[in-house]
Amino acid sequence: MKLQVALDRLTEEECLLVLNEIGDLAEWIEVGTGVIKQYGMAIVTRIKKNWPDAVLVADMKTCDAGKSESSQAFLAGADVTTVMAFADDRTITEALRIAEQQGKQVMIDLLGVVDVERIDRLYELGARLFSVHRGKDMQEQSGQAAADVPFMEHLRTLPDARFSYAGGVNEHTIARLVPYRPDVLIVGGAITGATDRRAAAQRIRGEMTG
């Protein structure tokens, strides 16, 4: 299980500061959608240059123009770009085609998906990396997304499929996720918003392996 640290709602300098503090504890680094909107693709390039060994995820959340947005992300230095599961099939296939051409990956964000049939269709289209995602605004409601567990169980049955889990993961909620063996755990605020970020990241890593 890999740790992906999500850089969300931070300034460029804060992103670099966070990575200096905890970058060695995360195998995957995500440049958040809002950060990309604020600073453009240049911040993806800058982070890749400073952290060349990490798997760099540009959280583009593409929902149209799959070819051009995926190309943009990969050209900037991303290893993985995100595409929304509800996008048109053509958007998905174009993003997957560009990724394959360039030896990169597309992570399909399942935010908003309510049935496993869509997951099966995405798999049929060639998607192999998924993100089970409980959105920031969804987290305002109590409880977990009803589909989280069925989605994780279903994804485990698909040959070669890998998945991440994102949304409200912290040292308390992690215990319920570990049994489903996500390939990547995405953690944003619980690390970036902690007073002692390194201690928080270390505790989360401890929960992942322990």
Ligand X SMILES: O=C(CO)[C@H](O)[C@H](O)COP(=O)(O)O
Q: Which is nearer to ligand X, 50 or 139 (CB)?
A: 139
Minimum CB distance to ligand X smaller for 159 or for 200: 200
* Least Å from the CB of residue 148 to ligand X: 12
What tokens appear for 103 in the block? Answer: 């030896």
Task: Enumerate residues 149-168 that contact ligand X by CB under 6 A.
Answer: 166-168
Cα–Cα dist 147/85, whole Å: 14
Distance (Å, rounded) from C-alpha 25 to C-alpha 125?
34
- 188 sits near ligand X (criterion: CB under 6 A): yes
For the bound state, the minimum distance from the C-beta of residue 136 to ligand X, rounded and expressed in Å, comes to: 6
Max CA pair span of the chain: 44
- Which of the stretches 21-29, 41-49, 142-150, 181-189 binds ligand X when contact is defined by CB under 6 A? 181-189
Give, for 54, the enclosing helix (H) or strand (E): none
Please, are residues 133 and 166 in contact by the beta-carbon 8 Å criterion?
yes
Q: Give me the numbers of helices (H) and strands (E) for the chain, helices first please.
A: 10, 8
* 133 is a contact residue toward ligand X (CB under 6 A): yes
Contact residues for ligand X, defined by CB under 6 A? 6, 8, 30, 32, 59, 109, 133, 166-169, 186-190
